[in-house]
Amino acid sequence: MQDFSFKKPDSLDAAVAALEAQEDGIYLAGGQTILPVMKFGLAEPTGVVDLSGIADLVKIEVTDKVVSIGAMTTHAAVAASVDIRRALPGLADLAGLIGDPQVRNRGTLGGSIANNDPSADYPAAVLALNATVVTNRREITADDFFVDMFETALEDGEIITRVDFPITDCAAYAKFANPASRYAVAGVFVAKRNAKTDGGVRVAVTGAGPVVFRVPDMEAALDGDFSPDAIKNISVPADGLNNDIHASAEYRSHLIGVMAERAIKTAKETNNKGGGAQ
């Protein structure tokens, strides 16, 4: 790894200034992706601006409508949060499935979605729950945030401060994990939402395509009948899905259906147990 200057500012403004002072600077969140990338020489920043000194970025706030999570909150903290588990158990479950314990102890929500790895877990929750990504400059809806592989709506120097997840009455995530990396070969987050007031069910798929995407056919079917049977005959075509050493596009296409059914089943069970919020 080539050497770089290191700054750990204690405010958003200072972080922006520190980044702007660099010819080729990057923000550092948990480092679980960027540090291995830098070790491979695939990124060679001249300056690293560590966001961990900004206290406001680590927090979990749960109201009766929204789960608000600070961008530098670790996956381990989300998975262990009793409040999140009560309000959105599917989100806590997802956080507990990211990587492994060591990665969850360092990796952060903001880092994950800013990186927008096509196989990352969080983008599926952000998109399916219709979350709002809040930055130091604006609010970005989930549908606008994830642009393409490793590409988001974030502008140069923009910092995610928190993500607001609207609470729905039942939601769950299921993924087929790569056995070595635990990245999603295909992961599906299903969120049941009121069709009249909240735009209906949302189904988001990660791992299978170049970027997280929704499945409108499944969403429409689930609006009428929120059950695994409702989507039995709906498939996402293999065309355009990822095809690599881990899984063929056809296999990923098949996995989307299986994972969606599992997520729906889990969401219904969670709701029946009264674990989900109203």
Partner 1 sequence: MPKITLTVNNEPVTRDVEARTLLSELIREELKLTGTHIGCDTSQCGACTVQVNGQPVKSCSMLAVQANGADVLTIEGHGDGETLTPLQNALHEHHGLQCGFCTPGMVLTADALLRDNPDPSEEDIRHELEGNICRCTGYQNIVEAVLAAAKTMRG
Q: If binding is defined by CB under 8 A, does position 31 make contact with partner 1?
A: yes
What's the closest the beta carbon of residue 166 comes to partner 1, in angstroms? 29
Helix (H, G, I), strand (E, B) or coil at 108: strand
Interacting positions 106-135 with partner 1 (CB under 8 A)? 106
Residue 4 makes contact with partner 1 by CB under 8 A = yes
- Name the one range near partner 1 by CB under 8 A: 3-11, 19-27, 113-121, 236-244: 3-11
Does 180 help bind partner 1 (rule: CB under 8 A)? yes
**Can you point out the beta strands (E) in 51-207?**
60-62, 66-70, 132-135, 139-141, 146-148, 151-152, 160-166, 170-177, 184-192, 202-206
State how far the alpha carbon of 45 is from the alpha carbons of 134, 152, 155, in Å.
Answer: 25, 19, 17
Binds partner 1 by CB under 8 A, chosen from 56, 82, 83, 101: 101
Which listed residue (14, 58, 105, 265) binds partner 1 by CB under 8 A? 105
- Asked whether the CA dihedral 163, 56, 14, 41 is positive or negative, the reply is negative
What single letter denotes the amino acid at residue 152? Answer: T
Beta carbon nearer to partner 1, 43 or 249: 43
Sole binder of partner 1 in the list 17, 35, 60, 220 (CB under 8 A): 35
Q: Where are the alpha helices (DSSP H) in 82-171?
A: 82-87, 89-97, 101-106, 109-115, 122-128, 142-145
For partner 1, give the closer residue by CB, 105 or 248: 105
Is 82 near partner 1 (CB under 8 A)?
no
